[in-house]
Structure 1
Amino acid sequence: MNTVATESELDWVLVLAPFRKDAEYIAASLREQAVEVQAVKADEDLVQHLASSPGIIVITHEALSSEVVGKIAEHLAEQAGWSEVPIFILLERSAPVARIRNQLQASWPDARLLFHTRPIAPLEFVNAIQSNLLVRMRQRQVRDSLERERELRLELNHRVKNILASVSSIFRMTQRGALSVDDLASDFTNRLQALSNVHTAVFEAGGEEVSLSDVVGLTVSPYNSDGMSRINVSGPEITVSRDAGTTIALCLHELITNAIKYGALSGPGGTVEVAWTIAEAAGPNLYLNWIEAGGPPVREPTRQGYGTRYVRSALGSLFGSLPDITFAADGFRCSVSGSLSRVTPRNQDTSD
C-alpha cells in the first residue's frame, strides 16, 4: 500500500495545559496562524487524543505528571521507525530544567524534545511550531520514500522470478525439441531475444502496459529488412498489459520460426499477414489472425513440435479459448479470439 502524507497528518497540534487559561491562550495564538489545535484539560481522555496522531505535542510544566508522561511514552513506543514526534515543553523560569530534561529524555527517547521557558513571545512560539510542522512533513516524506522503495523491491523480486520462470520453461521445451547442441543453443538464444525485445518495448512504454502495434512491430521488424515487407501487420491501436504483450510476442516468434523453416517465409515469394480486429457483438472481443500465403504446399506434421504446443497453450491461456490452428494446403493459419478485457490492463476501460 502506497502511503501519502495528507494535511490532516501534518497540521494539528495537541496542547496539554491544565492550569488557568494556558490551553486557550496557546490555542488562540496558533489558530491565528491557521494551525489546527486540540486543547486538552486534565480530566479529558488523553489516550483518545493521542490515538488521533497529533503532529506536535505542546505540554506545560504543570501537566508533567507521571501518568501523563507514561501515556505519552506508550504513544511514542507505538510510532513507526521514521517518526520522531516534536514535543514542546513549556517550563517556568524557576523549574529545574536539567533534571526535567534528563527525566523526559529517558522516558521519551524517540521524541524530538524542545524546551522553552515562559513567558515566550507568541511570534517566536508560532514560528517554532510551524518550523517543526515542516520537520514532521519531511519525516512523512521519508516514510513515503521508504515505502515506495519497499514496493519497488517487491515488484522487482516478482518480475525477476517471473522472468526466470519464463526462461526455465523456454529452455526445457526447447531442449525437448532440439536435435543437436547447436540447434538447442540457436533456438534458445532466439527465444530469449524475443523475450528481451518485448521487455524492451514495455520498458520504453514506461509502465505495465504497451501498444499492441509496438509489440507486433518490434517482433516482426527483423524479418522486414532491406525494404521488403514479408510480414504485413494491420489492426486498430489498442493497449495491452505487459504479460499479454510478452505472450503475444513469444507466440509470434514461434510462428515466425516455423514459417522460416517450413512455411511461407522459407521461400522468396511467401508472405505473412498478422491482423487483429475488435468486434463489439459479444464483448468487445479481440480477434488475432496469422495467415501465410505464397509458400510451399503445407502438410500437417506427424507430431506436434515445441512451437505449436507453446502457441496453443499460451494463446489458450491468454484468450480463454484455444486457437484454431489450420494446416491448409495454401498456407498455415492460426486464429484466436477472446474478451478484450483479458489482454488489456485491468484499470483500462474496454468499453470505449
Structure 2
Amino acid sequence: MVDATSDLVYRTNHDWSEVDVVGGNLLFGRPGSLTPDWLDVLVHPDDRDQVRDAIARARATQTPFSAEHRLRSEDGSWVWVSSRAVPIRPIGGDVTEWFGAATDITARRQHEEHQRLLLNELNHRVKNTLAIVQSLALQTLRGTDDMGLACDRFEARLHALAQAHDVLTRQQWEHATLQDIVRTAIAPCLVDDPERFDIEGPDMQLDPQRALALSMALHELCSNATKYGALSARPGRVRIRWRAEVVQGRRSLVLSWEEVGGPPVTAPAHRGFGSRLIERGLRHDLGGEVALDFGTAGVTCRITAPLPNLEVAA
C-alpha cells in the first residue's frame, strides 16, 4: 500500500523527535530517518510555529495531527502538503508512535490563490465601474431641463463604457490595443458612411485604466462631432493619428483628433460634462496633457501621455 500511494508516508516516535519516511511520494529522496531538526530544515519558516502548535495539540489530546504547510522538496523548492497522522497505542496505554501521510496539494493551493486574486480584482473593477457610472449619472443629469435628452446621453455613455469593457474582456483585462479602442468608439458613426474617418497609427497596447479613459473621451468627441461638428454635415471628416515619441525626455503616446470640412465651429460659452471628461478625466487617468480646441475650422484635440504601462508592438 505504501509503494502504491502517491502520498508521502511517514511514522514518528511518541514525541515526534524521530521521524522516518516510509515511502510513497519521496519529496525528500529515499526512505529513511530524518535528522532531529527536520522541522527547522524541511518546514517553511512561516509555517513552523503552526506545525509545532499542531503537534503539541495532538500530543496533549492524543488525537490525530492535522496541518497544511509547506515542505522543502529534494530539489529545494517548496511544496504545499496536507499532513495527517494518527496516534498508535496499545489498548488502555499511552501513544507509542504516530503513523501519517502527507498529500501534495500545491496545485490546489495555487488554484485557491489564483481564485482569491481574481475575486479581489473583480471587486476592484466593480467598484471602479460603479464609481464611473455614478459620475456619469450625476454629471449627465445635473442641472438638465430635458430629462429625455439627458437619459439618451446617459444611455449612450453607458453603452460606450460597455463597449470598452468588451474590448478589455476579450484580452482578459490585461490590455487593449489602441486600434481596437478607436474603432470601437467610432463604430456608431460609421453606419451611414464608413469612409468619414482617416485613422493612422502603429500597433499599441493600453492598460485597462487608460483604455477606458480614452474610450470614453473618444465617445464624447464623436458625439460632439455628430451633433455640431464635422460629422453633422457632408463632406466633413475626422482624422485620428497617434504615434510614440519622446516628450520632455519621456517616451509618450501622442494622439490627435482633427475635424475638417464641417460647418464653422463656435466655441461653447461654458464647458459641459463631455468637455470636462475629455480634458480633466484624461489628464487624470493618463497622467499627461490634453489640449481641446474649438477652432473655427473644426474641433481639434491633442492628447499626450507618458508610456510606462503601454507597449508598442515590434
TM-score (norm 2): 0.76
- List runs of 5+ in structure 1 lacking aligned partners: 1-9, 58-65, 115-131
The answer to whether 1:69 aligns with 2:59 is yes
Give the Cα–Cα distance (whole angstroms) in 2 for the partners of residues 194 and 272 of structure 1. 19
1:66-93 CA-to-partner distances (Å, cap 9, x unmatched) read 999359989846869x96413377x7xx
Give the Cα–Cα distance (whole angstroms) in 1 for the partners of residues 158 and 231 of structure 2. 21
Matched residue, 1:335? 302
From 137, 141, 148, the counterpart of 1:182: 148
From 238, 244, 253, the counterpart of 1:272: 238
From 264, 275, 278, the counterpart of 1:308: 275
Shift of 1:164: 0.5
The answer to whether 1:214 aligns with 2:180 is yes
Q: Secondary structure at the match of 1:194?
A: helix
**Equivalent residue runs for 1:1-352 within 5 Å:** 16=12, 30=23, 35-36=28-29, 39-40=33-34, 44-45=36-37, 48=40, 51-52=43-44, 69-70=59-60, 76=66, 84-87=82-85, 96=90, 136-137=103-104, 139-176=105-142, 178-280=144-246, 282-341=249-308, 344=310
The change in CA–CA distance for 1:271 and 1:13 in structure 2 (over 3 A counts) is: same
Identity %: 27
Is residue 262–residue 297 contact of structure 2 (8 Å, CA) maintained in 1? yes
More strand by share: 2
Shift of 1:46: 6.4
Give the Cα–Cα distance (whole angstroms) in 1 for the partners of residues 27 and 299 of structure 2. 74
Is residue 8–residue 26 contact of structure 2 (8 Å, CA) maintained in 1? no
Give the Cα–Cα distance (whole angstroms) in 1 for the partners of residues 292 and 122 of structure 2. 36
Q: Number of paired residues?
A: 287
Shift of 1:143: 2.7
Q: Secondary structure at the match of 2:183?
A: helix
More helix by share: 1
Is residue 8–residue 23 contact of structure 2 (8 Å, CA) maintained in 1? no
| Worse overlay, 204-213 or 160-169 | 204-213
Is residue 140–residue 153 contact of structure 2 (8 Å, CA) maintained in 1? yes
RMSD: 4.0
Give the Cα–Cα distance (whole angstroms) in 1 for the partners of residues 279 and 143 of structure 2. 16
Q: Secondary structure at the match of 2:218?
A: helix
Amino acid in structure 2 at the alignment position of 1:303: H
Is residue 326–residue 332 contact of structure 1 (8 Å, CA) maintained in 2? yes
Is residue 15–residue 39 contact of structure 1 (8 Å, CA) maintained in 2? no
Give the Cα–Cα distance (whole angstroms) in 2 for the partners of residues 73 and 272 of structure 1. 77
TM-score (norm 1): 0.68
Amino acid in structure 1 at the alignment position of 2:293: T
Is residue 286–residue 305 contact of structure 2 (8 Å, CA) maintained in 1? yes
Shift of 1:278: 1.0
Give the Cα–Cα distance (whole angstroms) in 2 for the partners of residues 67 and 337 of structure 1. 63
Q: Secondary structure at the match of 2:134?
A: helix
Amino acid in structure 2 at the alignment position of 1:203: T
Is residue 210–residue 286 contact of structure 2 (8 Å, CA) maintained in 1? no
Amino acid in structure 2 at the alignment position of 1:69: R
The change in CA–CA distance for 1:14 and 1:158 in structure 2 (over 3 A counts) is: same
Give the Cα–Cα distance (whole angstroms) in 1 for the partners of residues 218 and 24 of structure 2. 66
Matched residue, 2:75? none
Shift of 1:280: 3.8
- List runs of 5+ in structure 2 lacking aligned partners: 1-5, 71-79
Work out which of the two has the higher radius of gyration on C-alpha atoms and give 1 or 2. 1
